[in-house]
Structure 1
Amino acid sequence: MTDCGCEKARRDLEEYLRDEVCKTEHTDIAEHLAKCPACRDEALVAKTLTEVVARACRETAPEQLRDQVLARLRTAQAHH
């Protein structure tokens, strides 16, 4: 196991977080993140952002709000 360095860790960060790198690369990046606060912070931001976006994609608008938006869109389309 070797420290892969900041450049590789940051380049492959998204794949690492999604578990899409081979076991060796995963180990190397994990080792780097353990030693590099800047890359670890970047990984935390990326992971948090991914989780927030995923959670937002599962949420749905209240039915009344959705109906209001659709009604306004229909009105706007009718006037154009």
Structure 2
Amino acid sequence: MSDCGCEKARRDLEEYLRNEVCNTEHAEIREHLDNCPSCQEEMQVSVTLTEVIARACKETAPEELREQVFLRLREIQASAH
């Protein structure tokens, strides 16, 4: 199996991490990542960023803030009519 190279590994990294590449490409990218410290760092940054975003999406705003936002939205809607 040939090494896919940094350019391809980095270009397809997000799809690779989501298992959205074919098995052949997955194996080629995995082989490259196993042997390229620079691309391993890039992958770790992507994994960390994805995890942080996923955690942030699960958080909810404090009730007081939510009430303020809904109140302001109602004020805007009322003034538009």
Q: Which amino acid aligns with 1:39?
A: C
Q: What is the TM-score when the length of structure 1 is the normalising length?
A: 0.84
Cα separation, 1, equivalents of 2:27 and 2:44? 17
For structure 2, which runs of at least 5 residues remain unmatched after alignment? none
Q: Which amino acid aligns with 2:63?
A: E
Please identify, of 61-70 and 41-50, the stretch whose mean Cα deviation from structure 2 is larger.
Answer: 61-70
Over residues 19-73 of structure 1, what are the superposed CA-to-partner deviations in whole Å (9 max), with x where a residue is unaligned? 1011111111111011111111001101110111111111111212211233345
RMSD: 1.6
Structure 2 equivalent of residue 43 of structure 1: 43
Q: How many residues align?
A: 79
For structure 1, which runs of at least 5 residues remain unmatched after alignment? none
Structure 2 equivalent of residue 21 of structure 1: 21
